[in-house]
Amino acid sequence: MDVDSIRIGTQWNVLAKITAMTATPPAQVTDTEFWPARAAILDAYQRRGMPAAGRNLAGGFNQLQLTLFHAERLSTWKRPPPHQPVSVTGWSHVTPGIADTARRYLDQVTLSLRPNTVRHIEHDLRRFGTWLATNYSDVGNCTDLQREHIEAFKTWLSTTPTPRTGMPLNRVSIKNTLINLHCFFDRITEWGYPNAPVRPLVFIGDLPIIDKPLPRFLDDGAAAKLLRTARADADPLSRLIVELLARTGIRIGELLALTVDAVVQIGSAYVRAAATAWRWPADARRRRRRSRPTRPAHRLPAAPPRALLPGRRRCGCAAWRRWHGLVCPLPATGHAPWSA
């Protein structure tokens, strides 16, 4: 029996359990029946006290959820989190004065920045607040911060191993963390937040110099080789993913967020994505929808596709830095220091 047959059989098995529990015909299963049945069945397996109990069945629920979502029976394809994220529970270890200011700041940047960018900002601010509460418990809010606290935090970032790798953060991560702190302190001062820092705390000279920056683009030969390799791949999904990235210029995260109705026919094929998934150009963020034309199959892009460029995310980060008051040099200027 091949893999596809096993997956199909697993989904039918899970669907049969849902229909038996809810007395609902298989074609009429919706969110109302799916989620309560999923929770009840998986809880019953977990009560057996075995760590791996229900793991295979949970995978079957996930596969069935995708199928029912694309069949327009379920409203979402995302799985519910098993517990509250650390972005919610982690702030309990931070001093309330700093936590309240940081959360208010995060609520504002959430309205204008990409979700991934906001997630990184939240992580950096929460890490700084947790470190501050552990090592300087006398700091009650941002007004009490001094330069010595930033210098000690820089030393801690450069020397403390992280749980994931067992090694200290690399220079790129340290640089991004300090940029997020600089923007946080600078903006809450400009916006007139109470308990804002009384003086600048993070400066351009604090940012470490990156040893080996990633290349900013693929040359024409590498881009053409990538497309040829993708077209020769036996997996149709791999071919489709690479073609969509190359022909439309969307990012990987934007591609994963596309739904079945994202491709519409307007003369030639267009790919439509939600406005929140786009960064360029700026006016596109004010639209509800945006369409991207695909190029003819016999033509290669004149310039390397931006979604395949290693430095693609750095471009968005540079725009975000300019928005927050930092000027990032153009690629032709090399790695000259930024100017405030």
Write out the chain's pLDDT in tens, 340 residues.
Answer: 566 788 888 899 999 999 999 999 988 999 999 999 998 988 888 887 776 777 788 888 988 998 999 888 898 888 777 777 888 888 999 999 999 999 999 999 999 998 889 999 999 999 999 999 999 999 999 999 999 999 999 999 999 998 888 899 999 999 999 999 999 999 999 999 998 999 999 999 999 988 776 666 778 888 889 889 988 998 888 888 888 888 877 888 888 877 777 766 666 655 555 444 333 333 433 343 444 444 444 343 344 344 333 443 333 444 434 444 443 333 333 433 333 3
At residue 98, the pLDDT reads 94
The residue out of 21, 46, 70 marking a domain boundary is: 70
CA 55 to chain CA centroid, Å, is 26
Give the C-alpha separation, 178 to 204, whole Å. Answer: 9
Kindly state whether residue 327 falls inside one of the protein's structural domains: no
Indicate the number of domains in the chain: 3
Residue count of the chain: 340
In whole angstroms, what is the distance from residue 125 CA to residue 176 CA? 11
Which amino acid is it at 73? R
Q: What is the pLDDT of residue 5?
A: 82
**Residue ranges making up the domain that contains 40:** 3-70
Tell whether 274 is covered by a domain: yes
Residues 96 and 200 placed together within one structural domain of the fold: yes
- Measured CA to CA, the distance from residue 113 to residue 53 in angstroms comes to 40
pTM: 0.57
CA atoms within 13 A on the CB side of 85: 8
Whether 97 and 39 share a structural domain: no
Residues 60 and 95 in one domain: no
Is 292 a domain residue?
yes
Asked if residue 212 is part of any domain, the answer here is no
Q: Considering 24, 45, 70, which residue would you say is the last residue of a domain?
A: 70
Same domain, yes or no, for 43 and 97?
A: no
Question: For residue 265, what pLDDT is reported?
Answer: 66
User: Do residues 273 and 234 both lie within one domain?
Assistant: yes
Of residues 123, 55, 113, the one with CA closest to residue 86: 123
Same domain, 194 and 92: yes
Task: Order across the sheet with 263-266: list the strands.
Answer: 263-266, 268-274, 289-293
Is residue 324 one of the residues assigned to a domain? no
**Residue 271 is assigned to a structural domain of this protein:** yes
Residue 254 and residue 225 in one domain: yes
The answer to the question of residue 102 being in a domain is: yes
Q: Are residues 247 and 281 in the same domain?
A: yes
Shared domain for 245 and 303, answered yes or no, is yes
Q: Is the same domain home to 246 and 297?
A: yes
User: Are 192 and 99 part of one and the same domain?
Assistant: yes
- Does 196 share its domain with 224? no
In a domain, 76, yes or no: no
